[in-house]
Amino acid sequence: MDAETWQLIGTSFWPLLSAGLTVTVPLAIASFAIGLVFAVGAALMRISGNRLLSAISRIYVSAIRGTPLLVQLFLVFYGLPQLGIRIDAFPAAIIAFSLNVGGYAAEVIRAAILSVPKGQWEAGFTVGLSRATTLRRIIIPQAARVSVPPLSNTFISLVKDTSLAAVITVTEMFRVAQNIAAFSYEFLIIYMEAAVIYWVFCFILSLGQDRIERRLDSRVAH
């Protein structure tokens, strides 16, 4: 690579990194946090025993898992305005990503809860705890240990999926890369630079995931 290419890499690095830190990462964190709320609610509805609630949960999960994330983004940002509901690009992205995370994470959480031995429920009932209290104090803490690895993977995938927000004009890292590439015509270099930054973000998150898993494993061992 010549001097001009290295200069382009240097001048484009901070705008890309800044967009990643100020838009991409916050977008992923906010969407994941809200999505977890949806996921827990959908998982509890699914195992509640109430046929109506279980059916609603099934439909929600099926709809999310059966449609592309890109279509979900378009429905929220471009579709809802036709119903008189106008949402800015960034909140629209959070809504779409949150619903998507909720649909996938719901099954993870449901499976984690069901993986807890039934004897744990019986132990809670034996000491006089209600079903809700047993779920909160005994079942969910144990299910959390099981669900951490797949939920961490979901979060890492979400960080990469935020690049789709560029199509609804959210100025996240990939959108910035598109603008720089369109101006400089150095598409390969700029997109490779963005890819490296995405990889670094995901690598750091993977290290954090490993640390959390080791800590949970050590607590189980004790």
Q: Which domains does the chain have, with CATH numbers?
A: 3-221 (1.10.3720.10)
**How many Cβ atoms are within 10 Å of 64's Cβ, its own excluded?**
19
| Alpha-helical regions (H) of the chain | 3-19, 25-46, 51-65, 69-74, 89-115, 118-126, 131-134, 140-161, 173-184, 187-221
Q: Which residue's entry shows tokens 């494993």?
A: 217
pTM for the full model?
0.88
**162 residue type, one letter:** T
Q: What is the pLDDT along the chain (222 residues), one digit of tens a residue?
A: 677 777 888 889 899 999 999 999 999 999 999 999 999 999 999 988 789 999 999 999 999 999 999 999 999 999 999 999 999 999 999 999 999 999 999 999 998 888 888 777 777 777 777 777 887 778 887 788 888 889 999 999 999 999 999 999 898 999 999 999 998 888 999 999 999 999 999 999 998 888 877 776 665 544
Q: How many Cα atoms within 13 Å fall on the side-chain side of residue 207? A: 5
